[in-house]
Structure 1
Amino acid sequence: MNLQDVALFCAIVTTGSLSAAGRQAGLSPMAVSRRLAALEHELGVRLIHRTTRSVALTADGETFLPLARTMLDAREAATAAFSEQHEGLSGVLRVTAPHRIGRALAVPLVVRLMAENPRLKVDLSFSDGIVDIVAAGIDVAIRVATLPASELVAVRVADNPRILCAAPAYLAAHGCPRRLADLDAHACLTLHAMDAWTFSQAGHPVAKRIMGRLGASSVDTVHAACVAGAGLALLTYWDVAQNLADGTLKTVTLDDAEPERLAIWAVLPTRQHMPPRVRRFIDGLKSALMVSIPAQARP
């Protein structure tokens, strides 16, 4: 099987058109169409529906896409294994992450990796939602939420407990809650997708329903409102680490419950043929997070 044709098929899927894929490869749309047809003939199936305006994967195309990407990753890994020590990292590192953690952790890390490896390119995509990394061709996703069972590979990178916190001005004006039930009398800042906060009491998970006056669709907004003194927020440690360090937010400790303990995970589409650039990114992420969480920040 001609891997150049396989790469062209993946480029068609990524760009959404034969002509765009052709421009990337320096080929005419007609040449792209002929090579796609040759690949389909070899496989004995139709991979892509073509119209004058768009392309769409067939069912067989959807089945072949992850296999095609695995083949290309394997080719790149084989090449990189023998060239990395001489020429450094290469190729495109595709990373997705939540907005705040992505900006705080991924950006400085990839900037350093690019400075050390002139042939490396990076594509960052920040979203607080869950991205289908297989369909999007993502190399690694940084995730914080509790991970559902799946065929994806998850590598634990660091602890990232939730932190109940508030601005000093809010605590001075409204007092500090001491028990879980006290939250009912406080202004709690909520995410639209999170109407209950998870705590642990005597080793058992407890979902505390929160009815705050201010709700928001993003962690960034909740964080900004909390720093401004609008109320209590339940955020992860690496969302607020700098605020805890500079005193713009304070940890709120409850006597009868502690917030949910989470972790930062690197999620991969497969463990096989991991490109060196992905391995180096994960190692760099672990190194960046090898910092003990201060006692005052622990739940």
Structure 2
Amino acid sequence: MDLADVALFCSIVTTGSLSAAGRASGHSPMAVSRRLAALEAELGVRLLHRTTRAVALTADGETFLPFARTMIAAREAAAAAFVERHEGLSGVLRVTAPNRIGRALVVPLAVRLMAENPLLQVDLTLSDRIVDIVASGIDVALRVATLQASDLVAVRLADNPRILCAAPGYLAAHGRPACLADLDGHACLTLHAMEAWPFNRDGKPLARRVGGRLAANSVDAVREACLAGAGLALLTYWDVAQDLAEETLVALSLSDAEPERLAIWAVLPSRQHRPARVRHFLDALRADLSRTPAVAEPAGANHPPAAEAG
């Protein structure tokens, strides 16, 4: 089977027409049609319905498409392996991450990897929303939220517990909460996506509704308000690690509960044909996470953030 014909078939499906696939590959529409016909003849099935305006997959075409994409991905991975051996990492590394973690961890790493590998490109999407990595062609998604069951592959990179925190000025003016009930007397800065603050008590999850005058749709907005002394915030460790180290925020502990413990996960579309640039990115990120010194947790906490392979 000619992989060039298989690649043309994939291109037709992606672009939606024979002429567009021809322009992308440097072939005439007639040549594309002939090569598609040759592939169909070899397989003994019709892969696409053709009209003057569009093409559509047949049932056999839908069956063949994932195999075709796997073959092309394997070819590209094999070629890249030899290029990377001699010239370093290459191709486009597509990553999505939450805003704060992306800026704090991924951007510096991306800059370093590009400096070390002149043929490497990085396409970074920062968003606190969950991005569909399959539809968007993403190689790696960094996620902090509790993962839902899916066909995607998840690799655990590091602990990332939630941290109850406040600015020193706020604490000087309003005091420290000592237990969950004390939260009722404090201004709590909340996220739209988190209706109640998640804690654990005696190993069991506990959701505590809190009140305050400021709610926002982004971690950055809540963090900035917390830094300005507007109230208490419940954010993850890697959202505020630098602030805690610089003592512009203070981590707080409660006597009767601890904040929910989360982790940083790398989510990938597949276990197969993972390019070297993806493997190297994950290894380097895990190493960065393990080398970053953890600030002291509040009294009573006994699980400092630590990197761990999934």
TM class, shorter-chain normalised? 0.7 to 0.9
**Contact kept? 1:46, 1:61, Cα under 8 Å:** yes
Worse-matched range after superposition: 279-288 or 124-133: 124-133
- What is aligned with 1:222? 222
Q: Distance in 2 between matches of 1:249 and 1:261?
A: 19
Q: How does 1:194-273 map to 2 (within 5 A)?
A: 194-273=194-273
TM-score, length-normalised on structure 2?
A: 0.83
Deviation at 1:9, TM superposition (A): 5.4
Deviation readout 1:221-262 (Å, 9 max, x if unpaired): 111111111111111111111111112111111111111111
8 Å CA contact 1:49–1:57 kept in 2: the answer is no
- The CA RMSD over aligned residues, in Å, is 3.0
Give the corresponding residue for 1:176: 176
Seen in structure 2, the aligned counterparts of structure 1 residues 169 and 125 have a Cα distance that, compared at 3 Å, is same
What corresponds to 2:296 in structure 1? Answer: 295
Separation of aligned partners in 2, 1:264 and 1:286: 10
Q: How far 1:201 sits from its partner (Å)?
A: 0.8
Q: How does 1:23-42 map to 2 (within 5 A)?
A: 24-27=24-27
Q: Secondary structure at the match of 2:239?
A: helix
Instruction: Please tell me whether Structure 1 or Structure 2 has the larger radius of gyration of its CA atoms.
Output: 2
Equivalent position of 1:118 in the other structure = 118
Q: 58-67 or 128-137, which moves further after superposition?
A: 58-67
**SS where residue 147 of structure 1 aligns?**
coil
- Which one-letter code corresponds to 1:94 in the other structure? R
- Give the TM-score normalised by the residue count of structure 1: 0.85
Q: Which residue of 1 aligns with 2:276?
A: 276
CA distance in 1, matches of 2:279, 2:83: 15
Q: What is the one-letter code of the residue matched to 2:74? A: A
* Cα separation, partners in 2 of 1:61 and 1:235, compared to 1, 3 Å: farther
Whole-angstrom CA distance in 2 between matches of 1:67 and 1:161: 40
Q: Distance in 2 between matches of 1:239 and 1:182?
A: 24
Cα distance between partner residues in 1 of 2:48 and 2:99 = 35
User: How far apart, in 2, do the equivalents of 1:114 and 1:208 lie?
Assistant: 44
Percent sequence identity is 72
Assess if the C-alpha contact under 8 Å between 1:88 and 1:117 holds in 2.
yes
Q: List per-residue Cα deviations over 1:130-153 (Å, max 9, x = no partner).
A: 122122211111111111111211
Inter-partner Cα distance in structure 2 for 1:19 and 1:37: 15
- In structure 1, runs of 5+ residues without a counterpart are none
The 10-residue stretch of structure 1 (150-159 or 11-20) with the greater mean CA deviation from structure 2: 11-20
- CA change 1:203–1:24 in 2 (3 A) is same
The equivalent residue for 1:132 is 132
Alignment of 1:104-115 (within 5 A): 104-115=104-115
**1:93-108 to 2 correspondences below 5 Å:** 93-108=93-108
Q: Structure 1 residues 8 and 220, CA, compared in 2 at 3 Å: closer, same or farther?
A: farther
Q: Which moved more, 1:68-77 or 1:231-240?
A: 68-77
Residues 102 and 180 (structure 1 numbering): CA distance in 2 closer, same or farther, change over 3 Å? Answer: same
Q: Distance in 2 between matches of 1:226 and 1:49?
A: 59
Corresponding letter in the other structure for 2:211: M
Counterpart-to-counterpart distance in 2, 1:7 and 1:128: 35
- Residue by residue over 1:99-140, the C-alpha shift from the partner in whole angstroms, topping out at 9 and shown as x without a partner, is 111111111111111111111122111221112212221111
Q: In structure 2, the residue corresponding to 1:124 is in which secondary structure?
A: strand
Q: Which amino acid aligns with 2:237?
A: Y
- Shift in CA distance, 203/69, structure 1 to aligned 2, threshold 3 Å: same
Unaligned 5+ runs, structure 2: 302-310
Render the CA deviation track for 1:196-222: whole Å, top value 9, x for unaligned. 111111111111122332111111111
What CA distance in whole angstroms lies between the structure 2 residues aligned with 1:154 and 1:37? 40
Q: Aligned residue for 2:304?
A: none
